[in-house]
Amino acid sequence: MKIDPWSSTTYQDYARLRDEFGIQEFSEDLWKDLPHPQRLLRRGVVFGHRGFDIIHDAIQKKKPWAILTGLMPSGRMHLGHKMVIDEVLYYQSLGADIFIAVADIEAYATRGFTLEQTKELAINEYIANYIALGMDLKKCHLYFQSKHQDVKDLAFLLGKKVNWSQMVATYGFEGSTNMAHIFSPLVQTGDILHVQLEKYGGIRPTLVPVGVDQDPHIRLSRDIAQAHRLYNVTVTKDNKIGVFIKVDTNVKELLDAAENILKKLLFTDLTRITEYKAIYINTAQEKDITRIDETLAHIEPSFQGYGFLQPSSTYHRFITGLTGDKMSSSKPESAIFLTDTPQEAKKKIMNAKTGGAVSLEEQKKSGGKPDECMIYELFLYHLIEDDSELKNIYESCKKGELMCGMCKKRAAEYMEKFLNDLQEKRKKASGQIQEFLQ
């Protein structure tokens, strides 16, 4: 199996995908004790993660952390795109520092848009809706890739530690792939890691909430972050915890600095072997590694390093299209766009694929299948906040008490309310956009 971030594949078996790519399960202990957990977390829509433990820890200990998300302005914004923003808004309420990248370079490189076209789409489709959904542009850092010098510089400089074979293995690039496309994952790495530069808040845990199609970019960014580190803290073959210097300059100074830090962390029983560029910490345990590593990361900038912590990620399932396959901007009947009128949305809802039986009689007898129903999915992902209301629908559907006609009507009503409200708020958003564009 290969994940291609630019294809239009749908994914069915998320558990298998998770196992195959070494994504961790987003288990209850990661979200249960967060303040008022967001519905996509509660309901298993977010199904996997890499390194979320560090974010969980930062939230609990009220330490600084950041979120970086990106939008590709290559079509109209639909409900599938809304999920990330719902997640981001939730994390913002927990104190995350928010960064939003408009991926105009990627849209230019991979989708054939001009930068002018992407600007238009980004503003009218995405940014207007983000504000309408509750994002306050004054409280976040929103930027266009093509205009961000530090992101572009990083993309170029970080490329030093990735080679062509790795890019081919990750993305399946071919001889005919254009160079801007080949370079675009590095720009995304620039997006993800720039938030840890001193100027943007410094070294700190960073969460990138994405759909699972973005995992190749996440792996690349995590690998690159690690590759540029000066220190490596790890368990050795004979089960010791060691700090190793990965570079050949300033080895003595780096070892001195590490020794100092370790003593401050109250590890006193150290064995330093300068020829191995190593310090063994005789009393440390595996659970100490993260803390030691994070502390050492912070001194790397004084040795011309970046000290990037590996970015963390979460993965959400894709919402299914109303037609039963992928929700996609290129198939308008599959998607509900945030700028659809309630009438347009209603029509799509009425035509949607449900988990209903072939006849009313049959459905009364054997019940419906909410797990295979696009209407139920709309409730679950977007329209119903109250868990008990949702559970009610699920159960009465299964028992054959609820019929699809009623259910669709309810979905259309909720959707109408949502879309009307959003439209109102979009109108009010134009002031904020003007201000941002100045």
Q: Which of 407, 412, 419, 429 binds ligand SF4 (CB under 6 A)?
A: 407
Q: Which of 308, 300, 396 is nearest to 356 (CA)?
A: 396
* Beta carbon nearer to ligand SF4, 41 or 390: 390
* Beta carbon nearer to ligand TRP, 5 or 356: 5
* Three-class secondary structure assignment of the chain: CCCCCCCCCCCCCHHHHHHHHCCEECCHHHCCCCCCCCHHHHCCCEEEEECHHHHHHHHHCCCCCEEEEEECCCCCCEHHHHHHHHHHHHHHHCCCEEEEEECHHHHHHHHCCCHHHHHHHHHHHHHHHHHHHCCCHHHEEEEEHHHCHHHHHHHHHHHHHCCHHHHHHHHCCCCCCCHHHHHHHHHHHHHHHHCCCHHHCCCCCEEEEEEHHHHHHHHHHHHHHHHCCCEEEEECCCCCEEEEECCCCCHHHHHHHHHHHHHHCCCCCEEEEHHHCEEEECCCCHHHHHHHHHHHHCCHHHHCCCCCCCCEEEEECCCECCCCCECCCCCHHHCCECCCCHHHHHHHHHCCCCCCCCCHHHHHHHCCCHHHCHHHHHHHHHHCCCHHHHHHHHHHHHCCCCCHHHHHHHHHHHHHHHHHHHHHHHHHHHHHHHHHHC
Binding status of residue 196 toward ligand TRP by CB under 6 A = no
Binding status of residue 218 toward ligand SF4 by CB under 6 A = no
Contact window for ligand TRP (CB under 6 A) among 186-194, 375-383, 389-397, 422-430: 186-194
Binding mask 280-319 for ligand SF4 (x = CB under 6 A): ----------------------------------------
Binding status of residue 397 toward ligand SF4 by CB under 6 A = yes
* Beta carbon nearer to ligand SF4, 48 or 356: 356
Beta-strand relationship, 66-71 and 97-102:
parallel
* Beta carbon nearer to ligand SF4, 17 or 375: 375
Binding status of residue 375 toward ligand SF4 by CB under 6 A = yes
Q: Which two tokens stand for residue 421?
A: 């409200």
Binding status of residue 170 toward ligand TRP by CB under 6 A = no
Contacted entry of ligand SF4, ligand TRP, none for residue 407, CB cut-off 5 to 8 Å set by kind:
ligand SF4
Q: Which of 40, 208, 299, 390 binds ligand TRP (CB under 6 A)?
A: 208
Binding status of residue 322 toward ligand SF4 by CB under 6 A = no
Binding status of residue 402 toward ligand SF4 by CB under 6 A = yes
* Beta carbon nearer to ligand TRP, 23 or 103: 103
Contacted entry of ligand SF4, ligand TRP, none for residue 375, CB cut-off 5 to 8 Å set by kind:
ligand SF4
CB of 208 vs ligand TRP, minimal distance in Å: 5
Binding status of residue 210 toward ligand TRP by CB under 6 A = yes
Contacted entry of ligand TRP, ligand SF4, none for residue 397, CB cut-off 5 to 8 Å set by kind:
ligand SF4
* Beta carbon nearer to ligand TRP, 83 or 208: 208
CB of 392 vs ligand SF4, minimal distance in Å: 11
The single-letter DSSP state of residue 309 is P
Q: Which of 30, 101, 135, 212 binds ligand TRP (CB under 6 A)?
A: 101
Binding status of residue 188 toward ligand TRP by CB under 6 A = yes
CB of 357 vs ligand SF4, minimal distance in Å: 8
In degrees, to the nearest 5, what angle opens at C-alpha 209 toward C-alphas 349 and 318?
30
Q: Which of 54, 72, 279, 352 binds ligand TRP (CB under 6 A)?
A: 72
In degrees, to the nearest 5, what angle opens at C-alpha 404 toward C-alphas 399 and 406?
100
CA distances from 435 to 56, 120, 304 (A): 34, 16, 37
Contacted entry of ligand TRP, ligand SF4, none for residue 314, CB cut-off 5 to 8 Å set by kind:
none
* 48, 26 contact by CB (below 8 A): yes
Q: In which element (H, E) is residue 286 found?
A: none
* Beta carbon nearer to ligand TRP, 209 or 321: 209
Contacted entry of ligand TRP, ligand SF4, none for residue 101, CB cut-off 5 to 8 Å set by kind:
ligand TRP
Binding mask 344-373 for ligand SF4 (x = CB under 6 A): ----------xxx-----------x-x--x
Provide the 3-class DSSP secondary structure of residue 121: helix
Residue closest to ligand TRP, measured at CB: 70
Binding site for ligand SF4 (CB under 6 A): 354-356, 368, 370, 373, 375-376, 393, 397, 402-404, 407
Binding site for ligand TRP (CB under 6 A): 5, 68-70, 72, 101, 103, 106, 188, 191-192, 208, 210, 214
